[in-house]
Amino acid sequence: MEKSQLQNLFIDKNMGTILFDEPMKNHTSFKIGGPADVMIFPESVGQLIAAIKLCRENNVQFYIMGNGSNLLVRDGGMRGVVIKISEGLNKIEVQGNNIYCEAGALLTGVSRTAMSNSLTGFEFANGIPGSIGGAITMNAGAYGGEMKDIVTKVRALDTINKIVEYTNEEMNFRYRGSKVVDDSLIVLSVEIGLKPGIYEEIEATIKDLTFKRTSKQPLELPSAGSTFKRPTGYFAGKLIQDSGLRGLRLGGAQVSEKHCGFVVNIDNATCKDVLQLISVVQKTVRDNFGVELDTEIKIIGED
């Protein structure tokens, strides 16, 4: 389908905000990426499902994204449709010791809600710059906690547009993976189970973890978080540092001087800059230590 035909397909549809030729760099924490042919911001589950159905009925490729905190979009952008689950689907409700949240709710928002209700168990996620839907998809974790530890139910849309619900045990959570990845599901909402806690202790833990993040991670610069997965028996950042690559720069991309496990956008970097730098880092670490560094960030789009 030609781009003009594709865009005409979505004109005047009641699916939330719809933008054409929208730069993806405006929607990722890396601040990198070419234009999406069509970008949709649904404001309800009904609008989200309607957009997905329209794509599937017309054989239009589509990509579901959350907060864009782990994405590197290529400079040619995205063909087809990008559906961003964000502010329009971010409701958070407390139900006893459980918190119900729609897929677009930000992890920091859920954490703050838990704290304000003196519920403990979600402190680890405060400061992770992603949405609950993305966190479920990749079983996000930090500082000894993971989503698999606190999720009780996941509601999702399957490949035949049926709404399905899974328990924690059925989600096949693992390191950076889940049933969402296995079965190409689209997360709609999540229920997490927490425990009653003491507000002051929860607040103190969040402050401590926030300090650890801000003091050790380059949060002041655009990035997609940790660039590389942790190789078995090693730490990616230390391998990169010990290879003498701290601060290495190619174009507008740089190995962070603050934490070598991060590649940062220091000066209007392109995706090409970042990929070239990643390749240099991987080769250097492989040559020095015989260790393969796999990327943790998700690389999408066209050159």
Q: What is the pLDDT of residues 240-278, one digit of tens each?
A: 999 999 999 999 999 999 999 999 999 999 999 999 999
Which residue among 223, 226, 243, 256 is the active-site one?
226
Please state which CATH class domain 90-216 belongs to. Answer: alpha beta
Contact 232, 150 (CB under 8 A): no
Domain residue ranges of the chain, discontinuous segments joined by +: 3-87, 90-216, 236-300
* Architecture category of domain 3-87 in CATH: 2-Layer Sandwich (3.30)
Which residue type sits at 295? T
296 as an active site residue: the answer is yes
Residue 16: which residues within 8 A CB-CB, separation 6 or more? 40, 41, 42, 43, 44, 47, 51, 88
226 as an active site residue: the answer is yes
Q: How many CB atoms lie within 10 A of CB 161?
A: 13
The neighbouring-strand residues paired with 223 are: 264
Which residue among 43, 44, 174, 176 is the active-site one?
176
Q: Look at residue 263 in the predicted model and tell me its pLDDT.
A: 98
176 as an active site residue: the answer is yes
Contact 226, 262 (CB under 8 A): yes
Which residue among 43, 203, 257, 296 is the active-site one?
296
Q: How confident is the model at residue 280 (pLDDT cuts 50, 70, 90)?
A: very high
Q: Look at residue 137 in the predicted model and tell me its pLDDT.
A: 94
Whether 135 has a pLDDT exceeding 90, the answer reads yes
Q: Which of 230, 237, 147, 143 is nearest to 193 (CA)?
A: 147
Fold matches, 3-87 and 90-216: no
CA angle, residues 114, 131, 209, in degrees to nearest 5:
55
CATH number of 236-300: 3.90.78.10
Q: What is the pLDDT of residues 45-88, one digit of tens each?
A: 999 999 999 999 999 999 999 999 999 999 999 999 999 999 99
Q: What is the pLDDT of residues 160-219, one digit of tens each?
A: 999 999 999 999 999 889 999 999 999 999 999 999 999 999 999 999 998 988 888 898
Q: Look at residue 142 in the predicted model and tell me its pLDDT.
A: 83
Q: Look at residue 56 in the predicted model and tell me its pLDDT.
A: 96
Length of the chain in residues, anyone? 303
Q: How confident is the model at residue 158 (pLDDT cuts 50, 70, 90)?
A: very high
Q: What is the pLDDT of residues 81-127, one digit of tens each?
A: 999 999 999 999 999 999 999 999 999 999 999 999 999 999 999 88
